[in-house]
Structure formats: structure tokens, C-alpha cells
Amino acid sequence: MKTLHRYILSLAVLALGICVGTEPASAKNFVPRKSKVQAVIYFDNDVHSHVDGYAVAAKLKKDAVNAGIAACLVSSGDFVQGASLGASTKGGSIVEIMNTAGYDAVTLGNHEFDYGMPRLAELSKALNATVVDCNLKDLRTGRMFAPYKIFQMGAVKVAFLGVSTPYSFVSSVPSYFQDGNGNMLYTLCAENLYEVVQESVDNARKEGADYVIVLSHLGDDVYFDPINSHELIANTRGIDVVLDGHSHHFLPACNRSNIDGDPVMLTQTGSYFDHVGCLTISHKGKLSAKLIRSSKVKEKDAATLAVIDRVKKDYESVGSRVVGRSEAELIFADASSPRIVRERESGLGDFCADAIRLTMGTEVSMLGGGSIRAAINKGDVTYNDLFTCFPFRNTIGITTLSGQQILDILEFSVAVLPAEFGGFLQVSGIKFDVNVRTNTPARIDSNKVFSGFEGDGRRVTNAMVLDREGNYQPLDKDRSYTVSGSTYLLVEHGDGYENLFDGVKVVDTKIDDVDILERYITENLGGVIPARYANPEGRIKLLY
């Protein structure tokens, strides 16, 4: 049924005219000839601290410059966070590498906000590249970054204009953007995004830009997010190219129609530096783009590689300590999904949720799949392995919820199935069925916040909670249950859960989630992750 659903969804995507790409042939000449082009833009998106590709991108740019071609290197966001190497320095090491690589312009992805607004200010100041972001505004002082920057590239002027997803305020930590009373201090202009973008495009054109290239961290996922790169193009004019990010899709260049019916190029490199994008402007003004597989570029920039190697060495000295071993391969991805923890129960999710519940001694634990970022391989398990799995350094909280509150939270968790969702909950101490197709899901507003249910239909049924004897009993809507989870969920209400925790008091234990994993392995499991975690236990049954 899973395969059938993905097939049906793919037909719907094609019906909407969404760009669907295939793997490109490997290129022999990664740098265009000066006789063919006057400018080249190398681009990335969603690198998420996978740093090896920076030496590739830097080499491509330098080779172009050495060939007499005007060149820029840009990013569409999500660069400082996503793996423990970046998290260990709160993005500082990533900025150092990007400065060496020679980035010219970047926009902010939702994960650039993960270390808080003061840290974002520090990183942006340290970054040599210009941060462009037209829709991030401080409600007290106005726009925080330049909306665009114009570069002279050969005989033409190219404006790079940045757009961040309004989802950032939910997928990161909502309290980072609020005062002590919960009032918003910042906006990403969700209500009038396209008008804000259009104003910046018009201003760039008035300032003399021959080309407007949008560094977009919106994503092309029309099924999950109504604010996306396709809608951006359809609701604006004057944009030539959208270099997209956020959805992690491999998207070779294709054209979409803007509000006037004119073609706009849309492309995205995928994620994790599997590819580097290459956009060229010919002497006649023609635009073309290709995606270069990073592994095909054998030569790397020596200076950037030296910084990468030093950063890795500094990091490895901290992360190489062995904390235990695993008898199971706790997988993060399989043939059907690159991030299974965001759309169904997994053995890895069971392990993480069990670690929180059994270490904290609560009846139930909940953990958003988006908080789990990597597999745990069979064999020795190092502190780095745990940090890579939990790179955000969230602390663990404990609270009390009624059975009805738990049901409502679970409903929101599965509301967008079968699409993936960072707020899909991996659980411990509870099991339930999900009627994905027969019942009506919860309603989510444009900011991914729960805003009620559609009619009387509920997807979650047959909820059962473990008793002290280890037997499952029906969940009592009127009874209170002790619940543990990351403070990202319980306190900061990440992934849109804020309306589901009104009035809920949470005790922050101040214990790091990584330390919880280590405690569970060493104290509860005797140093060995058992083979039973190779597969899901059957806590979340999806009914299609």
C-alpha cells in the first residue's frame, strides 16, 4: 500500500505540473569555457554540516575565476546545523569553512535559527558572505538583513534575493522569537510573503539588476506546505531563477510560469552536498543549469580542505569515546524513505523514546521524529554516534497530561500522513492505530500550527498504555499520565504543537538528551543495545 500511495501521489504531482528530475549524466568539464559563458553561479542547499563538499564547491569557483569567468558561490540555507560537527560549535566551525571556501551570498534556512537569535547575529557577522533575506523582520526595528545584493558579473548585474520559509518559527524553537509574555518579536511575513518578495524584486530591478536570482528556502513540496517555491513563482513577476532548498529534493532545472505566464527556472541540488549546482549566463544572456555530482569532482580546494581536516580532527577528539555497543542496526532510512522516523514507527525511534521514558521513569514518552537525525550502526557506539543522532542538545522535560490531551497530541502528530513531518511522534509506553485514509485528519494552519479537527473524524484509535506489569490497557481520556519528552516539544512547542500545550506545566530536568541515551545504554541496558531494536515493536499501526 505504501508503494501504491507513493505512485498515486506522484501522479498527482505530475498533474500539478511539478518538476520531476532524473539523475544527470556525469559531466567531464565542470567549469564552462569562457568563450561560452560570461558568468557562472555555483550553488548549494541543505548541506546540514556535511562539510566535505565545501572543498569541491570552492575548487569549482576558483577554477572558473582562473579561467577568466566571473563566478559566485551561494547557498539557499540550512548550512550551520544538522550533524554533530556543526552543533558542537553552534555553527562556528561551519562559518569558518564557508569563509575559506569563498561564499558570496547566502539566505537563511529554518535551521539557521536553531541556536537562537543572538547566535544567529554572531554567525551572520562572522560570515564573509552577504546574508540576504527579504522577509525576516524585527517587529521593533524592521528588516534584519539586506533583502538582496547585486553583483557585477561580466557585463551583467545579478541580484541575489533571499527568502526564508515562514515555517522557521515553528520548526525551530518558537520561544526564540518571542518576549517573556509570548508576544512575537519577529515576523517572516507569512501573511503577505509574495507581496514582500515582489517589492524586493522591483527594487532590485530599479537598482539596475539584469537578472534576479532568488535564494529560496521554501521547498517545492506543494502537498505539505502551501507556501512553496511553485507558489512563489506563480504569484510574482521579474524573477529569472529560483535556487530552491528546504525540501531536500533533487530537482534538475525546469521552467515554471510566473504570474504573467513567463518562464522562471527552478532547481534544487537535493541535500548533504551530494551535488553542487552550476548556473551559467552566456554572452547572449541565456541561462542554463546543471547539477554536478560532488563525487565526480576529484580535485578539491587545498585551503578549504585543510580547514575541514582541522575542524574534523578537533571534533573527533571529543566524540571518539566508546559508550557501548549495539547488536542491532538502528536504521534512519530505507528504500522507501530517506527519513523513516518522520512518517512511521522505527526501531531507532523506539530506542530513543524508550531511553527517555525508562530513564525518566514516566508512563509515556514522546519524541518528534525531526529530533532524530542519524542511524546508530551495529557494533561499537561512540559518543559521537549519539551526538549525531541527537545533535540539537535539547534537554528532557517531564509533565502530566490527561488521556484526552495525549490523544489530541497524537492526532496532530499524524495529521499530514502519508507525507513526512518532523513532528511525527516516536513513542514509548503507548501504542495506537492510525486510520490514514478512513478518518479526517487534524487541521493545520499555514504556519504548521494545530488549529482544531475537521469534523468529528479522528485518525487515532485503539490507544493503549503500558501498566506497571508491562501489559497494555486502554487509555483513559479522563485519567492523568506522566509524560516525558524533549523540551523542544514540551516547553518550546516545536513543529507547531503550541496550541496543544496551553496551560501545561513542564519540569525541565536540564539533562541533555544525548546524556539520556548514554545513561540508557550504560545503566538500563548494561552497555549493549539489544537486537530487538532492529525492527519496530508495533506501537504505531498505520491502516491504509
pLDDT in tens, 274-332: 999 999 999 999 999 999 999 999 999 999 999 999 999 888 777 788 999 999 999 99
Average pLDDT over residues 352-368: 96
At residue 172, the pLDDT reads 65
Instruction: Give the max Cα distance, the chain.
Output: 77
Same domain, yes or no, for 358 and 465? yes
Same domain, yes or no, for 170 and 302? yes
Same domain, yes or no, for 389 and 419? yes
The tally of domains found in the chain comes to 2
pLDDT grade for 224, boundaries at 50, 70 and 90? low
Residue 500 lies in a domain: yes
Q: Is 278 helix (H, G, I), strand (E, B) or coil?
A: strand
Spatial CB neighbours of 470, under 8 Å, sequence gap ≥ 6: none
Where is the domain boundary, 290, 315, 340?
Answer: 315
- pLDDT tens-digit map of 485-540: 999 999 988 888 888 887 899 988 878 899 899 999 998 999 999 999 999 999 99
Does residue 19 carry a pLDDT above 70? Answer: no
Same domain, yes or no, for 335 and 297? no
At residue 21, the pLDDT reads 42
| CATH code of residue 236 | 3.60.21.10
Residue 134 lies in a domain: yes
Residue 14 lies in a domain: no
Does residue 8 carry a pLDDT above 50? Answer: no
At residue 316, the pLDDT reads 79
Where is the domain boundary, 262, 288, 315?
Answer: 315
At residue 446, the pLDDT reads 60
- pLDDT tens-digit map of 71-80: 999 999 999 9
DSSP code, position 112: G
Does residue 543 carry a pLDDT above 50? Answer: yes
| CATH code of residue 434 | 3.90.780.10
Share of the chain above pLDDT 70, in %: 90
Same domain, yes or no, for 123 and 154? yes
- Sole residue written with cell 528504500: 335
Same domain, yes or no, for 182 and 256? yes
Same domain, yes or no, for 188 and 81? yes
- Measured CA to CA, the distance from residue 467 to residue 57 in angstroms comes to 55
Higher-confidence residue of 459 and 181: namely 459
Same domain, yes or no, for 173 and 207? yes
Same domain, yes or no, for 140 and 244? yes
At residue 512, the pLDDT reads 84
At residue 353, the pLDDT reads 98
Task: Report the b/e string of 145-175 with b at 16+ CB within 10 A.
Answer: bbbbbbbebbebbbbbbbbbbbbbbbbbbbb
At residue 111, the pLDDT reads 87
- Sole residue written with cell 550533524: 83
At residue 29, the pLDDT reads 67
The grid coordinates listed for 541 are 499501526
The grid coordinates listed for 101 are 571556501
Segments forming the whole domain that contains residue 77: 34-315
Does residue 25 carry a pLDDT above 60? Answer: no
pLDDT grade for 46, boundaries at 50, 70 and 90? very high
At residue 176, the pLDDT reads 81
Q: How many CA atoms lie within 13 A of 78 on its CB side?
A: 29
Residue 42 lies in a domain: yes
